[in-house]
Each structure stands twice: as C-alpha cells, then as structure tokens.
Chain A
Amino acid sequence: MSNVPAELKFLSSHEWVLVEDDIATIGVSDHAQELLGDLVFVELPELESSVSAGDSVAVIESVKAASDTYAPVSGQIVEVNDELEDSPERINDDPYGDGWMYKIKMEDPDEVGGLLDAEAYTESIEDDDDD
C-alpha cells in the first residue's frame, strides 16, 4: 500500500500539495510514481509564469509513457526543483521530499479548500485499484 502523508492535500489526478502560508509546494504521489515506474525526464514550468488551477504545467516521463501533471491551485511559479533535470529518479526515491517539483505563490488560498485530504485521496486510489 502506498504512502499518503496526512498533512498533504491532493488532486485525484495524483498531485500532492503542501501549503505553508501562501506558498504551495507541488509534487506527485507515491502511488503515481509507483504506477509510472522509473522516471527518466521531467519538464518543469517556467519560473515566474502564471498558472491557473487545472492547467497542465509539467510533464513527467517514465520509460514507458509521458504524463501531464496539473496545477492544483492558481498563482505564480516562484521556485522549481532544478535537481530533477539531471535526477528525475528523485521522484521515485522520495516523492514527498527530494522529489518535489515546483512552488506556487497562491493568488487565492481558499482554493486549497477544494482539494482532497489524505483520507479522500486514499479512497480515490482504492477505487482505482478496484476497477
């Protein structure tokens, strides 16, 4: 069973969000990295670009497939994890730590209320497994 930290918020499309004041740190869940397998390339958003919740802003590629990842909240990209450029496997090794992808300075922190909590995300991936 994959790890779903209680302090994080999630999208059902497997992105996680850590909220600290008005900064949201985003990555992909342990469940997602496990299903994708070994990651070999990550295309991150451009620094200082503006994104809206639901935009496709980053692409992560495993050996087998490319997957779009979506911005969970709206705002400006204020930091990206450059280490992933040469070491995309950090997402496999430590999806909630060294494998973080980018940070958004949120326009509207209320958007966080619309995200899944750990319990709801766990239920959503269990539903997936039952398919």
Chain B
Amino acid sequence: MHLDLAAKRTGEFFLLTTDGYVMPSKTPLYQSHLDASAKMVDFAGWDMPIHYGSQITEHHLVRSDAGMFDVSHMTVVDVTGDDAIAYLQNLLSNDIAKLKTHGKALYSCMLNDHGGVVDDLIVYFINDSFYRVIINSATRDKDIAWLNAQTSSYSNLSLRERDDVAMIAVQGPAARERALTIFADNQRAPLESLARFMAAEVGEYFVGRTGYTGEDGFEILMPVDEAASCWQQLLDAGVKPCGLGARDTLRLEAGMSLYGTDMDETTSPLISGLGWTLAMSDERDFIGKPALQAELDRGVQQQMVGLVLKDKGVLRNHLKVVTEAGEGEITSGSFSPTLAKSIALARIPAGVSGEVEVEIRSKLLKADVVKIPFVKQGKSCI
C-alpha cells in the first residue's frame, strides 16, 4: 500500500528559499492546531491541519452544530481609490455594480483573454472607493501578478495585500449563535442582524456571513496577533476545530467549485457550472467577455453536473465518465458523509441526463446525473 497521498509532503508546493531550503508557511494559528492534536499536511506551501482526529466526525459536526476552520492561508487584497469600481468591472466577469448595499459580497471569477478562469473570488463592497477581494492561496503569486498587470489604465487605484490579517470560518447551524458570544455586547447587534452574504466591521474585526460549506455561519477576519485568542474563545464557546479534509467534503456536498480542480485557466465558467456568475447581458466589457460570447455563439459543448454513484465504491478526481453522447471526466469526487454515498462533480457532454457510467479500476459502475447541490443546510437534495 502506498501512503504517500495522506502521509507525505509532496514538496512540490514548497517555497524555495535562496539557499535551497524548503520552508512551508505557517498561519498565526499553527500552535493552536498543534495544541488541538491536528494532523498537519502541506497545502499549497502552507502547513495546514487536514483533520484533528476524524475528518468524517468534523464533517458531521459542521452539518449538525458548529465547527471552525483556519483559512488564514487565503489571500486578502484591498482595492481602493476612485477607480476601484472601473478596475473591478473590467477585471471580474460578475458585475460589482450589482452591489448596492455597503458590506454586500459577490462571488465572481476573473478570466483571461481566452475566457479561462484565472481564479474565483469573493469581493466585498465596503464603500464606493473600497472593495475587499478574497482569492485563493494556491494561486496567490499568479493572482497578484494578474491583478497588478490590469492596473495600468487607472491612475486613482491602490492594491494592498493584507498579510496582517488572519481568517477563521465558523460554520454550521449553531455557528452564528456560538460565534456571537465572543463579541462584546455593543458589537453584537450589527452581527445578529447581518443578512446572508453581507459583512460588517466591528472594531478591528471584519465579519462576513459567508462560507464554503453550504451551512450558515461567519467568516471572521482579524488582526494576526488576535487570531490565537479568538480561536481559543471560539473553542471555549463550544466550536470544534475542523480541518481542510472536512472542508473539502462539505464544499463538494454543497456543490461549490474548487479552483484548480473543477476549473482552471483552460476551462471557461460556461463548462464549469459557473455560468450563473457571468454578467453578460449589459454593455459592460470585461476581460474574457469576447471569448465567452464566441463560445456561447458556437454552442456550449459541455456541462458540469453532479454524480451520485449507485454501486459501491468511491468516485475520484479524473475518472472517466462514459455517456451516450461521449466521454466526460470527474473533476472532484469523494465520499459524502451526509449521504453515505459517493458523489462527484463531473464535466460531461451537454444535454446528457439520467444514468451514466464511471470507469473505476477497469470496471464500469453506474451513477445518476443530479442537480447540484447534493446537500443544503444539512438536508439531502437528491
């Protein structure tokens, strides 16, 4: 048996220092993870907790109660200045003009000229000249280069990476109630009334009612030096730590895309289940729009669907999907703890529905094509 997937650092994501040593980055919560008996793994150059004992137990905890994730490895960029709106309207395929209320969040892709996805992100509208963008960690270097490369036409624009903040996601049906207890009485009111996909600033904290699990909850940004004490207060409030393992099965059940797996620079949002994020209809031009329009005019050839395995086994990334209209491929496959079945996101020929087959170890197993999400707020959707 080869244990390299679970046990070994691959090294491929390590940052090489000038004298040849490899050095994974540590979040401000590194010691908190060790104190909680985390099993640490390399994730895109970061030393991160994969689980604290059982990934499946952590998964169920988020569906039934509340769990928290250290997501401080993610990249936060503040975009400020009078040209911030024009800059982001050119950069993003969703339209930030939809953001009418201060604190409102929007999910979007940023595309290259070919309509491929450079990254997916959340942008928060703080005020007319201040937007906060949260992008992935694995793509940080190329994203920062891309963001900088698009600034030249704008004179009143500033980009600032916020490596002075840490981020904790508290997720689950009891997440908000428990998380609220760590705030002072006078800070609690704006957070209690915070609507979904909105954020509020309380003191030095920035709290969004967002997440990546399909459950209610908060994503809390805070100064780096307050991260460990915030984590401890959340522990004291009964929120259990959860690792990146559970985060992945939770997001998969929720039908949320993972950059680099479900979409990348070679796939357009139209074949990645992200057509809903494209604001194509208005006059606005944005990077990648002509390529998307051409793809729409030609007819979109593939679709992203959910698969539920009917036979025993586990669907995995890159397995071949056999359909009556040709082959497809699983982009994210795993075991769904909530459904106790294997599920996957798969890119297959457009128009296919019903039953398909997946090739696992030279055998063809039956799977149903389903609408995503698989699970919403703890309940099965299939």
Query: B1 is contacted by which of A37, A38, A60, A131 (Cβ under 8 Å)?
Result: A60
Are A36 and B3 closer than 8 Å at their CB atoms? yes
Residue numbers in A under 8 Å from B314 (CB-CB): 40-41, 61, 66
Q: Give the nearest-CB partner of B3 in chain A.
A: A35
Residue numbers in A under 8 Å from B213 (CB-CB): none
Whether, in the assembled complex, A107 has its beta carbon less than 8 Å from a beta carbon of chain B, the answer is: no
Q: With both chains docked as a complex, state the minimum distance between the C-beta of B238 and any C-beta of chain A, in angstroms.
A: 23
Are A28 and B1 closer than 8 Å at their CB atoms? yes
Inter-chain CA distance A69–B39, complex, in Å, is 23
Are A35 and B56 closer than 8 Å at their CB atoms? no
Inter-chain CA distance A128–B1, complex, in Å, is 14
Within 8 A of A (CB), among B9-67: 39, 50-51, 54-56
Whether, in the assembled complex, B184 has its beta carbon less than 8 Å from a beta carbon of chain A, the answer is: no
Q: With both chains docked as a complex, state the minimum distance between the C-beta of A122 and any C-beta of chain B, in angstroms.
A: 16
Are A64 and B245 closer than 8 Å at their CB atoms? yes
Residue numbers in B under 8 Å from A62 (CB-CB): 6
**Inter-chain residue pair count (beta carbon < 8 A):** 69
Are A67 and B2 closer than 8 Å at their CB atoms? yes
Q: Give the nearest-CB partner of A38 in chain B.
A: B56
Q: With both chains docked as a complex, state the minimum distance between the C-beta of B334 and any C-beta of chain A, in angstroms.
A: 6
Residue numbers in A under 8 Å from B342 (CB-CB): 40-41
Inter-chain CA distance A25–B6, complex, in Å, is 25
Inter-chain CA distance A59–B50, complex, in Å, is 22
Q: With both chains docked as a complex, state the minimum distance between the C-beta of B10 and any C-beta of chain A, in angstroms.
A: 12
What is the interface size of chain B, counting residues whose CB is below 8 A from a CB of the partner?
Answer: 24
Q: With both chains docked as a complex, state the minimum distance between the C-beta of B40 and any C-beta of chain A, in angstroms.
A: 13
Are A40 and B3 closer than 8 Å at their CB atoms? no
Whether, in the assembled complex, B361 has its beta carbon less than 8 Å from a beta carbon of chain A, the answer is: yes
What is the interface size of chain A, counting residues whose CB is below 8 A from a CB of the partner?
Answer: 28
Query: A32 is contacted by which of B3, B50, B337, B361 (Cβ under 8 Å)?
Result: B3
Within 8 A of B (CB), among A64-84: 64-70
Whether, in the assembled complex, A14 has its beta carbon less than 8 Å from a beta carbon of chain B, the answer is: yes
Q: Is the interface of B mostly helix, strand, loop or mixed?
A: mixed
Whether, in the assembled complex, A15 has its beta carbon less than 8 Å from a beta carbon of chain B, the answer is: yes
Mark interface residues in A84-111 (1 if CB within 8 Å of B CB, else 0): 0100000010000000000000000000
Q: Would A37 and B51 be within 8 Å (CB), given that A59-B361, A63-B334, A64-B245 are in contact?
A: yes
Are B249 and A63 closer than 8 Å at their CB atoms? yes
Residue numbers in B under 8 Å from A85 (CB-CB): 312
Are B335 and A68 closer than 8 Å at their CB atoms? no
6 tightest A-B CB contacts, nearest first: A65-B5, A40-B335, A35-B7, A38-B56, A67-B1, A61-B314
Chain B residues at the A interface, C-beta cutoff of 8 Å? 1-3, 5-8, 39, 50-51, 54-56, 245, 249, 312-314, 316, 334-335, 337, 342, 361
Extra contacts besides A28-B1, A37-B6, A85-B312 (16): CB < 8 Å: A35-B6, A36-B3, A37-B54, A38-B54, A38-B56, A40-B335, A43-B313, A59-B361, A63-B56, A63-B245, A63-B335, A64-B5, A65-B5, A66-B314, A68-B1, A70-B1
Chain A residues at the B interface, C-beta cutoff of 8 Å? 13-15, 28, 32, 35-38, 40-41, 43, 59-70, 85, 92, 128, 131
